[in-house]
Amino acid sequence: EKVTVSVIKADVGGFPGHSEVHPDLLEACEGVLEDAVDEVIIDYYVTRCGDDIDLIMTHTRGEDDEKVHELAWNAFQEATKVAEDLKLYGAGQDLLSDAFSGNVRGLGPGAAEMELVERPSEPIIVFCCDKTEPSAFNLPLFRIFADPNNTAGLVLDPSMHDGFEFEVHDVIDQKKVILKCPEEMYDLLALIGQTQRYAIKRVYKKGDGDEAERIAAVTSTERLNLIAGEYVGKDDPVAIVRCQSGFPAVGEVLEPFTFPHLVAGWMRGSHNGPLMPVSEEEAHPTRFDGPPRIIALGFQLRNGELVGPQDLFADPAFDRAREIANEVADYIRRHGPFQPHLLSEEELEYTTLPDVLKKLEDRFEDLEE
């Protein structure tokens, strides 16, 4: 009765520029996944946020399965052919290798996968972002699973009252650590506040049960720019969160997104901007290639089948968050090429700075003291 939900994503071409995925690419992916139903996967749903294609798949093969990853790889290859044919922008952008070699990790696509023991009722939410990076989930995941001001269940629900464990990845040194909340909350915050280095990879319910029973959330944490060694685009992330009956309610999982917090990404992957929650329909970032977007799709699992989706941010209750995001966008855009709108030097996806410094080398003089 274990089911795996795999969300594997890639940007294989934008339409136009980096704004959206052309519908023909989604159709190409659907064709590949449809042929694999009952062979490799149980069910699937193909969506997109901005220029990123998100393949939501269910199966019983576990996480990191070669067949499932190959299927996603093949879908992206087919979509790339269509993108090349249409001469879309950045065709094949996130596919950094010519050949598949067992797992999409390190090849460019991002993956969030969760093996779970399906409960009598299993509500899940799949989040997909564009124009930002995996640590954009740090603040909302903290609020959902550790902040009683956000999540009433931490106080009220006896089955959540003990709290949750956070698996945090150091994406630069490739190390991980597990921290428990509420008792290690300040240590956790000391790490995950540093969004350029630490990203929450998984959240577990506390206890000694099977991981597939305790798993509460998972994100994609690939750092595409570091994998490639040079700029190939921000690794626009995805996440899966389980809801209800010992996990936060659907509305508790969505609540942090009423605050459009600042995240890194946006234009040229090099600017801070507000994360705007939008419907699938409105997930085509255009203003200054943004602002960064997030969609939330709700499903109920039925023996691995995806019942849904429900487009959860297509709710007037999130209009105010969108208004605030627009106000913040106006405000921060007026900084032009200055920090903190611009990211710090190490976080820039590309820069002329080394060339400028080289050119001015002879003209720099020591300060007299």
**Which residues sit at the interface with ligand 13P, rule CB under 6 A?**
11, 18, 50-51, 130-131, 233-234, 236, 249, 251, 267-269, 289
Q: Which of 9, 54, 234, 289 is catalytic?
A: 234
Q: Is 91 helix (H, G, I), strand (E, B) or coil?
A: coil
Site for Mg ion in 79-118 (CB under 5 A): 90
**How buried is 326 (Cβ within 10 angstroms: 0-12 exposed, 13-18 middle, 19+ buried)?**
middle
The residue (of 11 and 167) whose beta carbon lies closer to Mg ion is 11
**DSSP states along 298-339:** EEEEETTEEEEEEETT-SGGGHHHHHHHHHHHHHHHTTTTST
Q: Does 51 bind Mg ion (CB under 5 A)?
A: yes
Which of 304, 262, 270 shows the shortest CA–CA distance to 289? 270
Binding of residue 289 to Mg ion (CB under 5 A): no
Name which of residues 120 to 149 contact Mg ion (CB under 5 A).
Answer: 130
For Mg ion, the closer of residues 50 and 123 by Cβ is: 50
d(CA 186, CA 119): 32
User: Whole-number minimum distance, CB 2 to ligand 13P, in Å?
Assistant: 27
Applying CB under 5 A, the span of 47-55, 276-284, 323-331, 332-340 interacting with Mg ion comes to: 47-55
Closest to ligand 13P by CB, 168 or 329: 329
Greatest CA separation for the chain: 75
For residue 116, the one-letter residue type is L
Is residue 222 within the footprint of Mg ion (CB under 5 A)? no
Residue 269 has what DSSP assignment? Answer: G
Q: Is 231 a catalytic residue?
A: yes
Cβ proximity of 77 and 338 under 8 Å: no
Closest distance to ligand 13P from the beta carbon of 265 (Å): 7
Contact of residue 267 among ligand 13P, Mg ion, none (CB under 5-8 Å per partner type): ligand 13P
Q: Could you tell me the smallest distance in angstroms from the CB atom of residue 158 to ligand 13P?
A: 14
Is 18 one of the binding residues for Mg ion (CB under 5 A)? yes
CA–CA separation, 71 and 355 (whole Å): 42
81 catalytic per annotation: no
Q: CA–CA separation, 144 vs 149, rounded Å?
A: 9
Check if 204 is active-site.
no
**Closest approach of Cβ 286 to ligand 13P, in Å?**
11
Write down the residue that tokens 């209750």 correspond to.
317
Residues forming the active site: 11, 231, 234
Interface ranges with Mg ion (CB under 5 A) = 11, 14, 18, 50-52, 90, 130, 233-234, 236
